[in-house]
Structures are given as C-alpha cells and as structure tokens.
C-alpha cells in the first residue's frame, strides 16, 4: 500500500497514537499550574511555497502557521526551534531574508528563536517547533462543543484565492490569532477551538467526529474574503480551501458580548451528526473535503 492510498490525517494519527491529547492542534506537557504547549509543522518548497514566493514571506509563514496552532490552544508563544534545509547554491541573502521574515513574525506575535539547525538538501524544507504556555484553566481544546452552542470564526474565509490571482505575498502573510486566542482563553467561555489550516469544511467534520455533534451554517453569515468574492465560486474557497489560519470556536451565544475582539457567528452546533449549510430556507450537506497531503 502506498502513502497516497492512506492520506496525511491517518498518517499523523499513527505517528502520534500515543499523544497526550491526540485530537488537538498541539501536544501538552504538565507544568504545575500551566501547560507547556507544543506544536510542529514541516513545510516544503513544492507543496507549501509556490514558485515565486519571496524568502521573507516564506520565513514569516513558517513561524505564523505554528503560532496559529498555539493560538488555538489559547497559549502565548515562548520559544521556537527552526530547522532549515537548502541547496548549497542558495544565495546567502535568500537565507537572510527567510530569517528576517521569521524574526519579524516573532517580534509581532511573540516567541523567541532558541534553537536551530541548517542542513544541505536539493529542496528547501523548513521545520518549525513552537512552544507556548497557557494556564491549565485557560487551555482551549477541540473537545467540548455542545448542541445549542453557536459557531464562530475570526477574520475572513477563502484567502487561498490569493494563490489563484498570484498574490503570493498576501497568501503567505498569515496573521496568527494569538491575541484573539488569549482573549478567548481568558474569558473561559469557549467550549471548543481549533485553527482553520485545513479549511472550514474539513475542520467542522473533524470537530463533529470528536464531539459527536453536527453543525448548521448560514451561508449569508460567512465572512467571505474580498479576494474569494472575485472568484467564480467564492463559497468553494470559503469552505474547502485551506490556508485561512483563523480560529474556529464554539460557545454559548450569551457570551458574545463579553468578548472585546472581532469575530463572526457562522452557525450553530446541532445534535444531528451532519454538517449542513442553509441559504434562503434551503439546506445542503457540506462534504468532508479539503486539502490533505498524500491524497490526490
């Protein structure tokens, strides 16, 4: 059996079957009153950084997507370790620009480079491990959503459309929702939280499986990004494309007014284990599709 018959999510599941909390964006380690929150992401030239990506934004992106995982747990970034493989023929200034992008992202959102490794390889590969901390009673997990809760997202959906109009800078200039994650964590009102790296549809299907619930979205409530609206099928981008790195969270509606931050209600948690979307009284089912490595 080849890996393309298995798919990334099943492989990660096997890789991490002994995880502390197998279903979250991060792993956690007990540390007194706090959790040390750990996440790792590996990115490759061909898959993650389209031809023409600027090294500054490559560096920025590599840090930002890891901080996004910490944000979904409500954690503050503490330390970062970076491994970079590159060809020996790469220009020194290309390497320097990657580092600048990394540093600027940490300056803005937190974290400090404490360890690293560079190696030779014909392809550019960046592997980041990000370490954060969060008080135990503020930690946000994927498990906890209950029927009757409302569903929310930060920011906008469908930003991967930037790839299709060639705006690679914006595609890679991901803003990790550290501040929003902290506000949600401090409020202690969230019943489940994850980040949208795999796309909204796939993320809701994952939350559905973990929490044994379903979701009913309202199409006109979705904060579709301006760039996705320029596409032929904006909803496709908002639902099925990865790369938004927004927070997706659930909580009882009554807490909305407690939160001093930007977010948007997109629907409700329901008992029936289906992911549905409603528009003008008509309801359709949302498929479980989205980007997954190794699968076609």
Q: Smaller CB distance to its own copies: residue 126 or 150?
A: 126
Q: Smaller CB distance to its own copies: residue 93 or 209?
A: 93
CB of 20 to its own copies, least distance (A): 6
CB of 220 to its own copies, least distance (A): 36
Q: Smaller CB distance to its own copies: residue 12 or 147?
A: 12
For residues 7 and 228, what is the distance between their CA atoms, to the nearest angstrom?
27
Q: Smaller CB distance to its own copies: residue 59 or 234?
A: 59
SS3 of 175-212: the string is CCCHHHHHHHHHHCCCCEEEECCCCHHHHHHHHHHHHC
CB of 130 to its own copies, least distance (A): 10
The C-alpha angle 149, 151, 156, rounded to 5 degrees, equals: 165
Q: Smaller CB distance to its own copies: residue 15 or 280?
A: 15
Residue pair 54/97 in contact by the 8 Å Cβ criterion: yes
SS3 260: coil
SS3 159: coil
Smallest Cα–Cα separation from 186: which of 283, 76, 294, 90? Answer: 76
Q: Smaller CB distance to its own copies: residue 129 or 288?
A: 129
CB of 96 to its own copies, least distance (A): 8
CB of 276 to its own copies, least distance (A): 31
CB of 207 to its own copies, least distance (A): 19
List interacting residues with its own copies (CB under 8 A): 1-6, 8, 11-12, 14-16, 18-20, 26-29, 31-32, 36, 38-44, 46-48, 78-79, 81-93, 95-96, 99, 112-123, 125, 127, 129, 131, 293-294
Give the sign of the dihedral formed by CA 91, CA 60, CA 241, CA 67. Answer: positive
Count how many residues are written for the chain. Answer: 296
For residues 273 and 12, what is the distance between their CA atoms, to the nearest angstrom?
24
């Amino acid at each position: 059996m080849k890996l393309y018959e298995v798919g990334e999510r099943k492989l990660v599941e096997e890789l991490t079957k002994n995880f502390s909390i197998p279903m979250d964006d991060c792993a956690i380690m007990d540390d007194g009153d706090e959790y040390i929150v750990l996440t790792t992401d590996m990115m490759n030239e061909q898959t993650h950084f389209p031809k023409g990506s600027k090294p500054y934004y490559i560096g920025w992106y590599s840090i930002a997507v890891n901080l996004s995982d910490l944000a979904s747990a409500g954690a503050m970034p503490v330390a970062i370790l970076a491994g970079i493989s590159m060809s020996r023929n790469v220009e020194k200034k290309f390497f320097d620009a990657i580092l600048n992008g990394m540093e600027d992202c940490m300056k803005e959102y937190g974290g400090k480079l404490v360890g690293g490794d560079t190696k030779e390889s014909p392809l550019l590969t960046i592997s980041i491990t990000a370490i954060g901390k969060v008080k135990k009673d503020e930690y946000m997990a994927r498990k906890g959503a209950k029927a009757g809760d409302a569903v929310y997202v930060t920011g906008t959906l469908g930003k991967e459309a930037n790839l299709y109009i060639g705006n690679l800078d914006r595609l890679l200039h991901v803003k990790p929702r550290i501040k929003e994650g902290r506000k949600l964590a401090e409020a202690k009102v969230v019943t489940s939280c994850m980040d949208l790296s795999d796309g909204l549809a796939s993320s809701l299907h994952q939350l559905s499986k973990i929490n044994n619930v379903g979701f009913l979205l309202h199409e006109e409530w979705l904060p579709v990004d301006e760039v996705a609206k320029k596409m032929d099928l904006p909803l496709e981008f908002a639902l099925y494309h990865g790369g938004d790195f927004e927070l997706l969270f659930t909580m009882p509606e009554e807490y909305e007014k407690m939160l001093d931050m930007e977010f948007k209600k997109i629907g409700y948690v329901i008992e029936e284990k289906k992911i549905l979307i409603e528009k003008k009284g008509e309801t359709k089912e949302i498929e479980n599709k989205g980007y997954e490595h190794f699968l076609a």
